[in-house]
Amino acid sequence: MIHKEKILIISGPTASGKSDLAKKISGKINAIIINADSMQIYNELPILSSQPSPDDIITFDHALYSILPYDQTSSVMDWLNLARDEIERARESEKIPVIVGGTGFYISSLINGINSIPEITDEIKDEVREFYKKLDKDEFIKNLIDLGDINYIRLSKLDPQRLTRRMEVLKQTGKNLDWWQNQDKNPFYKKENFVHINLNPDREKLYQNCNERLNLMFENGALEEVEELMKLSPKDDLPITKTIGYFEIRDYLKGLIDKEEALSRACQKTRNYAKRQLTWFRNQFREKYEIADYKNSPDIIENILKQ
């Protein structure tokens, strides 16, 4: 049986079966399934973000799902602190922590550590947020460069959350984010404590899974979720709006496109995202077990639990 000091990680692209494998493993050992997906931490879109069902939450011990309101931002350091708390809770309860998700930077930071960027004060966060509202993106980037950030072309590709984060770090520390990221990292756990399973399914099968899952979401409550969130008038740059399908459903509910077009666009976005994840996970993490199709590998769970 898997050693009590181990931390099991199940990574891979969206719709690859990570949550299903986590449940199968949790059915055989005493475990806590810990979310490592940056969209599944939010309350308001559990169906569209493919969070565990209410029955799954009751049956298996889950953590870090639906823990934040729609208008709150969360950094990788925020997640790491929460995840480390849950890992320690698991160990104190003699359970195995099972980290499940497709947000690569979360998983990379947990395994490899993260640079110790000083805490940003609330005053600077508020100042930068208000400053961003007053300028268009180009003007904001020019101010970033004046403060000591990098070249325009790279910054122009960043979203508002990453741009404001860079300015916060510059104002707080006087050094840009790249300088901090080039400093030595401090791992939280020994590398040998991790058992990393990466799901790497056949691409065509994965795309089919993406389409089928999104169709089910549309039929089983995702439209109603978005409709309720729209009543809160969320700003377009909030992290929760990055949930794939949100803007497409919103446009459908506003009468800007029909339902078929909304579904088609969301499916294409999901496939594109899955493709990027496949490539990223394939090229990261030297020490991992690649699994193409765990459902047709009857011994795979037993082999995992022998680590």
What pLDDT, on the 0 to 100 scale, is given for residue 73?
A: 85
For residue range 60-71, list pLDDT tens digits in order.
999 999 999 999
Number of domains in the chain: 2
> Which residue, 139, 160, 181, sits at the end of a domain?
181
- Residue 34: inside a domain: yes
Cβ contacts of residue 165 below 8 Å, gap of 6+? 75, 177
Tell me the CATH number at 39. 3.40.50.300
Q: For residue range 160-182, what is the model confidence (pLDDT) as tens digits? A: 888 999 999 999 999 988 898 88
Which among 134, 156, 181 is the end of a domain?
Answer: 181
Domain hosting 132: range is 122-181
Same-domain status, 62 and 103: yes
Whether 207 and 284 map to the same domain: the answer is yes
What's residue 186's pLDDT?
Answer: 80
Assess contact for 304 and 8: CB atoms under 8 A. Answer: yes
- Does one domain contain both 52 and 147? no
**Shared domain check, 149 and 84:** no
Claim to verify: residue 167 and residue 25 sit in the same structural domain:
no
The C-alpha angle 263, 268, 274, rounded to 5 degrees, equals: 125
pLDDT value of position 244: 97
In this structure, the answer to whether residues 214 and 99 fall within a common structural domain is: yes
Radius of gyration of the chain (CA): 20
- Tens of pLDDT along the chain (307 residues) come to 677 789 999 999 999 999 999 999 999 899 999 999 999 999 999 999 999 999 999 999 999 999 999 999 888 889 999 999 999 999 999 999 999 999 999 999 999 998 878 888 989 999 998 999 899 899 999 999 999 888 778 888 888 888 999 999 999 999 988 898 888 888 889 989 999 999 999 999 999 999 999 999 999 999 999 999 999 999 998 999 999 999 999 999 999 999 999 999 999 999 999 999 999 998 887 777 778 777 766 677 777 777 6
CA separation for the pair 174, 35 (Å, rounded): 34
Indicate whether 220 belongs to any domain.
Answer: yes
Q: Are residues 177 and 194 in the same domain?
A: no
For residues 202 and 160, membership in a common domain is answered with: no
Examine residue 290 and state whether it is found in any structural domain, yes or no: yes
Same domain, residue pair 190 and 264: yes
Q: How far is CA 51 from the centre of its chain?
A: 12
**pLDDT of res. 204:** 93
Residues 14 and 273 sit within 8 Å (Cβ to Cβ): yes
Residue 1 placed within a domain: no
| Contact yes or no for 168/126 (Cβ under 8 A) | no
pLDDT of residue 217: 96
- Would 109 be classed as within a structural domain? yes
pLDDT tens profile 31-79: 999 999 999 999 999 999 999 999 999 999 999 999 999 999 888 889 9
Q: Which of 140, 163, 181 is the last residue of a domain?
A: 181
Are residue 168 and residue 64 in the same domain, yes or no?
Answer: no
Place of tokens 């791992």: 187
Q: Mean pLDDT over all residues of the chain?
A: 91
Based on the fold, state whether residues 244 and 285 are members of the same structural domain.
yes
Tell me if 173 sits within 8 A of 118, measured CB to CB: yes
Classify residue 150: in a domain, yes or no: yes
Q: Are strands 31-35 and 62-63 parallel, antiparallel or unpaired?
A: parallel
Residue 2 counted as domain residue:
no
Q: Verify that 141 and 287 share a domain, yes or no.
A: no
DSSP the chain: ---TT-EEEEE-STTSSHHHHHHHHHTTS-EEEEE--SSTTBSS-TTTTTPPPHHHHHHS-EESSS-B-TT----HHHHHHHHHHHHHHHHHTT-EEEEEES-HHHHHHHHH-B--PPPPPHHHHHHHHHHHHHS-HHHHHHHHHHHT---HHHHTTS-HHHHHHHHHHHHHHSS-HHHHHTSPPB-SS-GGGEEEEEE---HHHHHHHHHHHHHHHHHTTHHHHHHHHHTT---TTSGGGGSTTHHHHHHHHTTSS-HHHHHHHHHHHHHHHHHHHHHHHHHS-SS-EEES-GGG-TTHHHHHTT-
- Please indicate, yes or no, if residue 262 is contained in any of the structural domains: yes
- Backbone φ and ψ for 189, nearest 5 degrees, come out as -135, 160
